[in-house]
Amino acid sequence: MPAPTRRTLVVAAVAVAAVVAAVALPLFQPWRLVTDKVVDEALPGTDPISMTTSSSPPPTISGEPTATPSAPAPTTSATPPQTSKPPQTQAGPVRLATGTFISHEHGTAGTVSIVRLPDGSRLLRLEGLDTSDGPDLKVWLTDARVLEGKAGWHVFDDGKYRNLGDLKGNRGNQNYAIPAGLDLAAFRSVSIWCDRFNVSFGAAELTKA
């Protein structure tokens, strides 16, 4: 059997490389390590509070003295001033827990808060987030401790976790709704989780505000 020629080997190598690239590129998406997606969302319920004056109303004058002593001054019934209730303002957002991100597989910075809005709903807010872009990134609430270094890369799917949705952007300020009725006491941390490769990009330990 004749040995394969150099040209045949080159063609075979190119074909194999093409197959590997066709599989690996969509899976790993390496270009996302050098791309950024910035999202800047405002915190709901932070409209300016209307200002009200605290000065008291002028006194009500019940009558004026007359110049003629013999003529009695007309009497008028004194009407007590109307007491108006101050306009009620809706309470603003309340931070229930906060945390600061540490880096895991990728450099990650920023803060996280769990916020209760005036209507009673809750959200998880990321502020000043700065991490790497990547495939299939999620925002997870978890019951795992946040560990530094490689020991903390893969722990967040070992126990209880709740996926709050796809990461909207790898940089900026973002809000993620927390389902009503979810017991937040069961969770102690937040992870930017790569679901494709089961690894944390970065995580934050939550402490009561």
Contacts of 81 (CB under 8 A, 6+ apart): 57, 60
Overall fold of domain 6-38+90-208:
Immunoglobulin-like (2.60.40)
pLDDT at 119 over 60: yes
**pTM (2 d.p.):** 0.67
pLDDT digits (tens, 9 = 90+) for 166-183: 999 999 999 999 999 999
Show the tokens assigned to 150: 């490689």
CA proximity to 167, closest of 186, 195, 206: 195
